[in-house]
Amino acid sequence: MNARLKVGVVGAGFGGLVHVPAFRAQGRFDVVAIASPNRAAAVAKERNVPNSFESVGAMLNAIDVDVVSVASPPFDHKASVLAALERGKHVLCEKPFGLNVAECEEMVAAAKRAGTVCAIAHEFRYTPSRQAMKELIDNGHLGALREIESSVLHMFLRASTERANSWWFEHRRGGGITGAILSHMVDQTNWLAGRPPKRVVGFERTANPTRTYKGATFTSDVADGAFVLLDYGDGLVGRAVADGTRPVESATLAVHGELRAAAATGPNVIDATMFAIDEEETAELELSAPKHAKLASVHPNVPPFVELLDAFVDAIDGKPATLPTFADGLETQRVLEAIGYKA
């Protein structure tokens, strides 16, 4: 019988909302601690986590864990990841991987030295539509690939939409839509293409630098839109748009081959309807239900996150597993830095 694995979560925001319940739901993990400089104790009490600490260092000094799950803001990723790897822990790190390529290269090198299982939390690879898209590509159903296009459009960064001031609106701390959303899209495009791009063209845009929250104004210097064109060679290109200033909530992913195209679209990445398109007809495809669909009531991201953890634990057990690796995270970071996301 495989041993249970003790997990320490770093970060009390998304870490408390998604990482803690997802690790618990997977079945092999015990969440034994949460670390955060401000809210660890409160979130630990709320989520029934037995230990809380103000830092990852304090956590690692006080208790034994097998896995460190880094869900802190991007400016903390390098420090927490390196601290965990120095202790020989398995590591799951949130996206964006780091603040710049140099940080990511350092973390990749540390992971190689540690020899532990390390992955990036790109849980959206595991949604039914993305898994179906990958299967269509791998079985040659679409023919020679010519374009992968994706767009994720949100309303939460419009000038009229209020959002509290935080690190999220500071470029030097890794804020903005490029790291938050475009990182997922680039990872998916690279994964579907089966390789990193040879050439990158794109830019970030800040449409609303002056923001208002509860009557107070503050300045944002991060992207509220990010746009990239990717050249994968062999006739395949990718296009991705992440924009938070639109009047709709919408997510679309389409893969165009010379024989057929496949498109998944909906109000967000998780709730998607999928179509197959050729010169004769457009047909809706029936998608498999998410493996952990019942967990959506906890948080919409939890079902695909648990599927990511299924692969993560398989890798820890030495079984074949396909994961978004630290190397994948580095390739995504190269794209983000090429269009301006670098602190």
Question: Which mean pLDDT values do the consecutive 10-residue runs of the chain (343 residues) have?
Answer: 93 97 97 96 97 97 98 98 98 98 98 98 97 97 98 98 97 98 98 98 98 97 98 98 98 98 97 92 90 94 98 97 97 98 96
**Run of H or E residues at 77:** helix 74-86
Preceding omega of 290 cis (within 30 degrees of 0): no
Cα 334 to Cα 332: distance, rounded to the nearest angstrom = 5
* Spatial contact of 248 and 193, defined as CB atoms under 8 Å apart: no
* Spatial contact of 15 and 34, defined as CB atoms under 8 Å apart: yes
* Spatial contact of 124 and 304, defined as CB atoms under 8 Å apart: yes
| pTM confidence score | 0.96
- Helix/strand/coil for 264: strand
* Spatial contact of 280 and 215, defined as CB atoms under 8 Å apart: no
* Spatial contact of 333 and 170, defined as CB atoms under 8 Å apart: no
What pLDDT is attached to residue 86?
98
Domains of the chain from N-terminus onward: 5-123 (3.40.50.720), 128-289 (3.30.360.10)
Running DSSP on this structure, what letter comes out for residue 182? I
